Structure 1
Amino acid sequence: MSDHSSYLAPGMRVEHPGQPEWGVGQVQSNIGGKITVNFPEAGKVVIDASRVMLMPVFDP
């Protein structure tokens, strides 16, 4: 698993840098570098962490 994605845990909120129109998604799982995220505008998407670096979203 990529070091930059190893901290992503279920419940965390993230954005896909290449798909901002998908909105802020919630991590469902992170297994072996495959991260499942539920995005409001795209539904459930499995992302390969070796190819895409999801950006965490922190509430103020």
Structure 2
Amino acid sequence: MIFWGTVGGIFLALFGAAKWFDRKRRGASFGRAGADHHAAVSRAHLQSWSSHRGDGSGKI
């Protein structure tokens, strides 16, 4: 079901962002590679979410 896939994607994106902010707040650094990977994953989540909505623009 597309609805549950979308909800799951949003939940995973929010959970990932929360973990990343928590790490940043504690001052732990995971380097450029980790930051680039996180950005790529976030973009992929946004693009898949908007394609479910049908506009395919990659923006909320």
TM range (shorter): under 0.3
Bigger fraction of residues in helix: 2
Bigger fraction of residues in strand: 1
TM-score normalized with structure 2 length: 0.21
TM-score normalized with structure 1 length: 0.21
